[in-house]
A and B are shown apart, each in its own frame.
Chain A
Amino acid sequence: MRETAAERWSRRVVLTLLTLFTVTPLYVMLSSAVKPLRDVQGAFTWLPTRPSFQAFVDMWSTVPLGRYLVNSLLVSSVAAVVSVAIAIFAAFAVSRYRFRGRQVFSVTVLSTQMFPGILFLLPLFLIYVNLGNATGIELYASRTGLVITYLTFSLPFSIWMLVGYFDSIPRGLDEAAQVDGAGPMRTLFQVILPTAIPGVVAVTVYAFMTAWGEVLFASVMTDENSRTLAVGLQGYATQYNVYWNQVMAASLVVSIPVVAGFLMLQRYFVAGLTAGAVK
């Protein structure tokens, strides 16, 4: 099929505009991060007067960025690992067993993700405060509370994506393992999981990203000690006198790990979405 000249040009124009739109903020972030402070205090300049990496040094002492980073790393990693572990068992059940309530479970879990966060923010806040007062377990303003909250945010989509992956693994493999005397757990760990590794990795990255980027609950459920990057960086950017070069440097540093992880695994995300979309 040949492309007419008009089509070719409209393709070029549309793609160029979308590229400019996408790239502009990324360029602002990158170029401003390597500007000396003077450059970001006056009118915007396209290029630094001289490239400087001072912002990457200063940002650690202007605000307790190190503490925010450690909090975010801890909360997001634990939430991701636990969430994926739970999702693996749930997806195994949904993919390999027929049981009463299977449909209800799948639909309910997915639909919780569609509800406004603000709806359960207030009650959850009060539940955590009261549970803490009653039992002595710190949930409000603690990293534990954040981990529990965040892992449920990624669970629905993780389960859904893993069911897609597990469904694509032929049941003949399960049956062969069972003939060899393997129980369900051995089937899961020795047959299904090794085959589904790319899916499991993609889901782990997704769960990590979800926790890493969450703002609403972090802004209510944390205090100075448990503050994550989401809240910390925002405070950084709303100070009276904002050091934009440092804020951009910090934004860049906290973005690189998740962006790299996502882009490396993008085809698995597309595969996961396709599996869901063609049903």
Chain B
Amino acid sequence: MVTTTTAPAPARPSTPGTGRTKKGRLPRSKLPYLLLLPAIALELLVHVVPMVVGVWMSVLELTQFQIRDWSAAPFVGLDNYKATLDVNGPVGKELLHSFWVTVMYTTLSVGLSWLFGLFAGVYLQRPFPGRSLLRTLFLTPYALPVYAAVITWTFIFQRDTGLLNELLTTTGLADDRPFWLIGGNSFWALLVVSVWRSWPFAFLCVMAGLQNVPSEMYEAAAIDGAGFWRRLKDVTLPMLRPVNQVLILVLFLWTFNDFNTPFVLFGGSAPEQADLISIHIYRSSFITWNFGQGSAMSVALLLFLLIVTAGYLLVTNRRREHA
């Protein structure tokens, strides 16, 4: 047992990530490292080491023939990457298609989820009867296990037994029953499910952020004659800026990497029109057993996400400083 004579750091208002320098003594103790050891060991095993291995795999020819003894897999250099990024080749062409589907899906889903969350948050700011009931209700989709929620949507989208087509035919909006889970409609079905599942998270974050807006700010704006939209633009949105910065990034990453929604909605294989990139890589790896190719795609995806994230943080931070 390591005994230590160090006093805890003096009270400080900072949380991790603010990069504030310490004011007090710097305890030279091994104890913090010992406390972190289990967390670090597990993160290494499940995240860091596999990531390194993944990069290594991406330069190997690793198919079902090498899987039992993968140290014998031949080194192929950047061949997997060439095939992945060659938009004229069959592999690259399909990947590019999947990429654009994912970009569309992510843009629409993040935009709508954020909008829904914002308006729900703003409209639930002031007390009225039934407010806490609505809040609880809105959070329910977020708490539901993803497969239970998405399976229910699968039922709703069934051509012959589902609620949606029943609604469309009885109201006369559609003459015959369209398919929702195959063909072009599948993209929109996927989008609806995605928004349904992620807007409550946006709502939760907006709600947390709005708790810090003093109501005097609204009073003052109202006295100045600011209407709903002016108050939204001049008070709410600026005050929510730090929350939005993180929220939109997190929503973007989650949605772009979304695997669960299409996987459960379409039962393991997505139609071409809704072939999100995670599903595409999964199928390229596990259906064809070409792990080297799949790894190259994963690494390319990671690089793309890192560049987008870095660019986003750069732009939003600069704008924040200028604001």
- With A219-B263, A234-B264 already in contact, the answer to whether A99 and B29 are too (CB < 8 A) is yes
What's the count of A-B pairs with C-beta under 8 Å? 321
A114, A155, A278, most chain B CB atoms within 10 A:
A114
A183→B3 contact, CB < 8 A: yes
Give chain B nearest CB distance to A144 CB in angstroms: 13
| Chain A residues within 8 Å of B63, by CB | none
Q: Which of B132-164 contact A (CB under 8 A)?
A: 134-149, 151-156, 158, 160-163
CB distance from A141 to the nearest CB of B (A): 14
Residues of the B chain whose Cβ atoms lie less than 8 Å from the Cβ of A19: 134, 137
- Report A210 CB to chain B, min CB distance, Å: 10
Q: How far in angstroms is the closest Cβ of chain A from B297?
A: 9
Main SS of chain B's interface residues? helix
B17 touches A106 (CB 8 A): yes
Residue of B whose beta carbon sits closest to that of A247: B151
Residues of chain A having any CB pair with chain B under 8 Å = 1, 3-4, 6-7, 10-11, 14-15, 18-19, 21-26, 28-29, 32, 40-44, 86-87, 89-90, 92-94, 96-99, 102-103, 105-110, 112, 114-124, 126-127, 130, 148-149, 151-152, 155, 159-160, 163-164, 167, 170-172, 174-175, 178, 183-184, 187, 209, 212-213, 215-216, 219-220, 229-230, 233-234, 237-238, 244, 247-248, 251-252, 254-255, 258-259, 261-263, 266, 269-270, 273-279
| A-side contacts of B219, CB under 8 Å | 1
Q: What are 19 contact pairs spanning A and B, CB under 8 A?
A: A15-B123, A24-B156, A44-B165, A87-B39, A98-B22, A103-B17, A106-B16, A116-B302, A122-B54, A130-B70, A184-B4, A209-B145, A213-B145, A215-B259, A216-B260, A219-B268, A251-B147, A269-B204, A277-B212
CA distance A87 to B35 in the complex (A): 9
Whether B70 pairs with A126 at a CB distance below 8 angstroms is yes
For window 64-80 of B, CB contacts with A under 8 Å fall at 67, 70
What residues on B are CB-neighbors of A1 within 8 Å? Answer: 215, 218-219, 222
Q: Is B99 an interface residue (CB 8 A)?
A: no
Shortest beta-carbon distance from B27 to chain A in Å: 6
- A159 touching B161 by the CB < 8 A rule? no
Contact B294 A263 (CB under 8 A): no
B211 adjacent to chain A (CB < 8 Å):
yes
Residue of A nearest to B47 (CB): A112
Q: Which of B85-93, B103-111, B183-191, B278-286 lies on the face that meets chain A?
A: B278-286
Is the C-beta of B214 less than 8 angstroms from some C-beta in chain A?
no
A244 vs chain B, min Cβ distance (A):
5
Mark B residues whose CB is within 8 Å of A: 3-4, 6-11, 14-19, 22, 24, 26-27, 29, 31-33, 35-36, 38-40, 42-43, 45-51, 53-54, 57, 67, 70, 116, 119-120, 123-124, 126, 134-149, 151-156, 158, 160-163, 165-166, 196, 200, 204-205, 207-209, 211-212, 215, 218-219, 222, 227-228, 242-243, 246, 250, 253, 256-257, 259-260, 263-264, 267-268, 278, 281-282, 285-286, 291, 294-295, 298-299, 301-302, 305, 309
Q: Are B298 and A277 in contact (CB under 8 A)?
A: no
Q: List the 10 closest pairs (A to B, CB-CB), nearest first.
A: A106-B16, A262-B143, A123-B50, A120-B50, A238-B267, A93-B35, A251-B148, A123-B53, A44-B166, A93-B32
Whether the Cβ atoms of A213 and B146 lie closer than 8 Å is: yes
Measured in the bound complex, the distance between the Cα atoms of B163 and A244 in whole Å is 12
| B residues near A114, Cβ cutoff 8 Å | 250, 253, 305, 309
Question: Given the complex, which residues of A lie within 8 Å of B208, measured CB to CB?
Answer: 270, 273-274, 277
Q: Point out the residue from A87, A94, A96, A262 that lies within 8 Å of B16, measured CB to CB.
A: A94
CB distance from A253 to the nearest CB of B (A): 9
Contacts of B11 in A (CB 8 A): 170-172
For residue B174, give the distance in angstroms from its CB to the closest CB of chain A. 13
Residues of B within 8 A of A171 (CB): 8-11
Q: How far is the CA of A149 from the CA of B137 in the complex (A)?
A: 31
Contact partner of B148 (CB less than 8 A), chosen from A32, A155, A254, A277, is A254
